[in-house]
Structure 1
Amino acid sequence: MLLLKDEQATLDAGRQLGALLRQGDKLALSGTLGAGKTTFARGILEGLGYGEEVPSPTFAIVQQYELPETRIPVAHVDLYRIDDPDEIFELGLDDILDVGAMIVEWPDRMPDSFWRDALRIELEITGDDNRRLTWTAGSAWKDRWPLT
């Protein structure tokens, strides 16, 4: 468990994680609205070298970041507006993992089997600006997680 005292701490933790990301990695970001999922994802993208504004992918659903903008290609996915699980397969998310990594907000919209080797992050609001970050790390994250 990590306690994140403010937005900057959430960004910093994301940056640390971004530095560890590699091809084929799946990150599942869970938490209620306003828990800091997109802020954490922004930090991850900064840790991958992205220096521009990071919009929330809520309306686009999938926001792609490619070389040379980032160290590896990555897709930032927000499944909040997906109601039918069949719609997810039309997004081609498996293809993304062939060349890069994936950060997914609202991962509960996908089957549990997809997250077998993933790093599952849960962000919980514990105060005005405070967040608690907990995780479950799949075997692909052995020796890389947790953050220190």
Structure 2
Amino acid sequence: MSRRIETVDQAAAGDVYAVVRAAFGARPPLDPPAGALAETVESIGKALADQGGLLALEDDKAVGSLLFDREGPTLALRRFGVVPGAQGSGVAGDLVRAAEEHAESLGCTSVRVVARVELPASVAFWEHNGFVRGAREGAFLHLVKVFPRRFTLPTAEDATAFGERIAGLMRAGDLVILTGELGAGKTTFTRGLGAGLEVRGDVTSPTFVIARVHPSLVGGPSLVHVDAYRLGSIDELDDLDLDTSLDEAVTVVEWGAGVAEGLADDRLEISLLRATGDVSSLEDHDVREAVVQPVGLRWADIAWPV
């Protein structure tokens, strides 16, 4: 079989309408009923004329489709469906990947969908494709996927300044999970973050103290700087008797991947990559690139610093 995914406009309204009727009509009865079943060729055509959509074709037969609905930096995916005979064949996954590529080509920073909580398989599909749960409104669950961002940081000053810029996005309760090899620049970044937050005390490596609290000098959130390298689980943070609640602070966890994710559904996962070569010649400030993976609705509409 030959499969292709096409970006379409109102000329494809009939095909998209047929997919929507077949896909949503095959679902079990829902209360309230799916709004997709009230669509017409005309309403589909108008949506396609306004913002376009995708059509999946298998041997020139329409088997899947979706509508685009841009909301600022986020591209919402509406009326996502695959006809019953093509479900389980990978069409849905191909549509998701094509939608993400289209969103990035538009300069969007995230994609968003709404799923019905009564359809756990649908929710699981989106989570399998990297979407995370956000707000729930009755029977409707919002899920979002925020694209990773890459920043080049050739010098220690750049790494520190990058931390200061990220600090401008922070608010109380935010979590940053830092990963990177020894000397990749985790503490250099955190030092810049602390400077941007205007907290008290020098930000240094927490290697010999599992967690340090840096109170704000300006009435903002404190900075909690954690070294998770020696923590068996993030639950051990409860035993550290910190002087502040994590809900009232910005928390940075070095070596936190696989350990600290449970602290918050919304978070920034930052990987710091350094130049390859002779490890002995590299120091903490030898950062070359920061890869920022935002997780959760908190970061869906953020205007990122350049």
Shorter-chain TM-score tier:
0.7 to 0.9
Q: Once the 2 structures are TM-superposed, how far is the Cα of residue 101 of structure 1 from its aligned partner?
A: 1.5
Q: Judging changes above 3 Å, is the alpha-carbon distance between structure 1 residues 102 and 70 closer, same or farther for their aligned structure 2 residues?
A: farther
3-state SS, counterpart of residue 205 of structure 2: coil
* Alignment root-mean-square deviation, CA: 2.3
Query: Structure 1 vs Structure 2: percent identity of aligned residues?
Result: 33
Task: Work out the CA distance in 2 between the residues paired with 1:57 and 1:140.
Answer: 27
Deviations 1:98-118 (A, max 9, x none): 212201101025154435311
Task: Work out the CA distance in 1 between the residues paired with 2:209 and 2:219.
Answer: 19
Q: Judging changes above 3 Å, is the alpha-carbon distance between structure 1 residues 97 and 10 closer, same or farther for their aligned structure 2 residues?
A: same
| Of 65-74 and 11-20, the range deviating more from structure 2 | 65-74
The residue that corresponds to 2:290 in the other structure is 133
The residue that corresponds to 2:151 in the other structure is 2
Deviations 1:75-116 (A, max 9, x none): 01111222x2253443368x7322122011010251544353
The residue that corresponds to 1:30 in the other structure is 179
Whether the aligned pair in 1 keeps the contact of 2:199 and 2:223 (CA below 8 Å) is no
Whether the aligned pair in 1 keeps the contact of 2:200 and 2:214 (CA below 8 Å) is no
| Counterpart selection for 1:121 from 270, 292, 298 | 270
The residue that corresponds to 2:80 in the other structure is none
Whether the aligned pair in 2 keeps the contact of 1:45 and 1:70 (CA below 8 Å) is no
3-state SS, counterpart of residue 257 of structure 2: helix
The one-letter amino acid of 2:294's match is A
The one-letter amino acid of 2:240's match is L
| Counterpart selection for 2:193 from 28, 40, 44 | 44
The residue that corresponds to 1:68 in the other structure is 217
Deviations 1:39-91 (A, max 9, x none): 00000000011364222111111110113267311201111222x22534433
Q: Judging changes above 3 Å, is the alpha-carbon distance between structure 1 residues 76 and 130 closer, same or farther for their aligned structure 2 residues?
A: closer
In structure 1, stretches of 5+ residues that fail to align are: none
In structure 2, stretches of 5+ residues that fail to align are: 1-149, 277-281
Query: With structure 2 as the length reference, what TM-score do the two structures score?
Result: 0.43
| Number of residue equivalences | 146
Whether the aligned pair in 2 keeps the contact of 1:80 and 1:106 (CA below 8 Å) is yes
Higher relative contact order (CA 8 A, sep 6+): 1
Query: With structure 1 as the length reference, what TM-score do the two structures score?
Result: 0.85
Structure with greater strand share of residues: 2
* Alignment partner of 1:90 is 2:248: no
Task: Work out the CA distance in 2 between the residues paired with 1:45 and 1:26.
Answer: 14
* Alignment partner of 1:108 is 2:257: yes
